[in-house]
């Protein structure tokens, strides 16, 4: 049987349909250009909520938000961007309020203690992140002794030679915060995990191991509540025995 060769033919209807598609594409491109260059969508109001430590200007700079930028251009340039934020920022959520406003909601990391390092103090948060390096104690928070530092970078978890010990310190800081003891406790020493020591201005607190540490801090809190100027060595190593204060030699 002979093969039939079919030759395509573009009739008027097909050419008309192709013309419509091309016209739609051109209209879409034209509208896109208009939106991308319209001053109606220029960012004129930026609101930052939840920030106490980091300034609005720093947060805007971190997120590449510039007043006057077209909202569509900002969305195109930043919707997948991996922004480098200030170490004190935990999360930052950006909300576009059309046609020309942006709201940024942030949560900040807060310092729970200071780790001495080469003449400075590293400010660390509850998850172990290094928020800052300072020469001065800016808040009434405990200094941590007994943690060996390998290296550190701002905005990252402190790299230590003994991570388990560091995690224990963070747990201790969380318990101190729980019982509002961070201002009274000026130092935490975990050099010996079987003989953890806490210090106030006048009182040395011998805690023993980390076992029952939560209950031990309840006892410490009651003791300091009765007399915040109490002095000596407070023994809370074993709560099954008597808690007592020993005079310093």
Tell me the pLDDT tens digit for each residue of 70-100.
999 999 888 878 889 999 999 999 999 999 9
Chain segment 162-190, per-residue pLDDT in tens: 999 999 999 999 999 999 999 999 999 99
Q: Are residues 98 and 211 in the same domain?
A: no
Q: Are residues 124 and 228 in the same domain?
A: yes
CATH code of the domain containing 206: 3.40.50.10960
The residue from 88, 108, 128 where one domain ends is 108
pTM of the model as a whole:
0.83
Structural domain count, the chain: 2
Q: Are residues 136 and 191 in the same domain?
A: yes
Q: What pLDDT sits at residue 195? A: 97
The residue from 108, 128, 152 where one domain ends is 108
The residue from 52, 81, 108 where one domain ends is 108
Q: Are residues 134 and 240 in the same domain?
A: yes
- Higher pLDDT: 134 or 5? It is 134
Structure tokens of 38? 């319209």
Please indicate, yes or no, if residue 3 is contained in any of the structural domains: no
Strand 159-160 relative to strand 120-124: parallel, antiparallel, unpaired? unpaired
Structural domain that includes position 173: 113-246
Q: What pLDDT sits at residue 82? A: 84
**Closest by CA position to 186, among listed 142, 216, 240:** 142
Q: Are residues 157 and 197 in the same domain?
A: yes
Q: Are residues 89 and 199 in the same domain?
A: no
Q: What pLDDT sits at residue 80? A: 78
Query: Nearest-5° angle of CA 219, CA 194, CA 176?
Result: 40
């Amino acid at each position: 049987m002979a093969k039939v060769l079919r030759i395509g033919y573009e009739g008027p209807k097909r050419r008309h349909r192709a013309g419509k598609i091309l016209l739609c594409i051109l209209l879409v491109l034209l509208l896109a250009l208009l939106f991308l260059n319209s001053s109606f969508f220029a960012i004129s109001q930026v609101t930052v909520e939840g920030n106490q430590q980091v300034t609005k200007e720093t947060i805007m700079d971190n997120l590449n938000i510039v007043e006057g930028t077209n909202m569509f251009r900002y969305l195109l340039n930043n919707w997948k961007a991996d922004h480098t934020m200030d170490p004190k920022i935990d999360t930052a959520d950006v909300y576009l309020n059309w046609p020309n406003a942006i709201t940024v909601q942030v949560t900040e990391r807060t310092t729970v203690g200071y780790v001495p390092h080469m003449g400075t103090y590293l400010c660390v948060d509850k998850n172990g992140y290094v928020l800052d390096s300072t020469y001065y104690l800016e808040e009434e928070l405990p200094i941590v002794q007994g943690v060996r530092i390998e290296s550190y970078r701002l905005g990252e978890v402190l790299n230590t030679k003994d991570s388990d010990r560091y995690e224990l310190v963070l747990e201790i800081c969380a318990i101190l915060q729980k019982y509002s003891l961070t201002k009274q406790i000026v130092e935490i020493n975990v050099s010996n995990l079987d003989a953890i020591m806490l210090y106030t201005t006048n009182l040395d607190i011998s805690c023993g191991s980390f076992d029952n540490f939560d209950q031990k801090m309840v006892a410490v809190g009651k003791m300091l509540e009765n007399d915040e100027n109490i002095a000596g060595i407070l023994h809370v190593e074993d709560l099954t025995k008597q808690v007592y204060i020993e005079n310093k030699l």
